[in-house]
Structure 1
Amino acid sequence: MQYEAYLFADPTCFEYLDARLTKEIEALKAIANQYETPELINDGQQTAPSKRIIAQFPDYGKAKPVFGPQLAERIGLEVIRSRCPHFNRWLSRLESLI
């Protein structure tokens, strides 16, 4: 799974890149709304979450390692966990080891 799927937990996080790009943000919201969970968005090489994001925000492709974590932080772990059950189970399992 690409970590970019988690960014679809709240596509409004992309306002951080450029709040004026409302059409692009709405396009990402529409993609997210087509799936029960963002974890299911990863359905092919050309339709992978990162490819969908780059189609709307081309600059994201050049700076994924920087933008990705910043956007995830803006969403917050609580929201990502609530929208991504597989991720939540995995993280809960890790937490149980502590």
Structure 2
Amino acid sequence: MIVKENDTHPVEFKANADLTGATVRLTARTRTGEPIDLPCSVVDASEGLVQHILTGALPKGTYRVELETTNGGEIITFPNSGYATLTVAEDLD
């Protein structure tokens, strides 16, 4: 997913699971940076859709993103293999 610097709109990530009753944590990280917890909420539990609202605060760069779900004491991280990618590109103005 590619967004621009200073964007302030919702972005969605999908877990390949039903998230009914689950708590979720969305984490982003550049290859050399510290993890950043991104506030998120489940917008469609049965479809596994989670939403983060961009605040314009993420600096430009490419982030690896993962979604950690906890349900009934079981922790599952999505994607199960590799990472989702969020690129914040330079805004021209």
Would you call these one fold, judging by a TM-score over 0.5?
A: no
Structure 1 length-normalised TM: 0.28
Structure (1 or 2) with the greater helix fraction? 1
- Please identify which structure carries the higher strand content: 2
**Structure 2 length as normaliser, TM-score?**
0.29
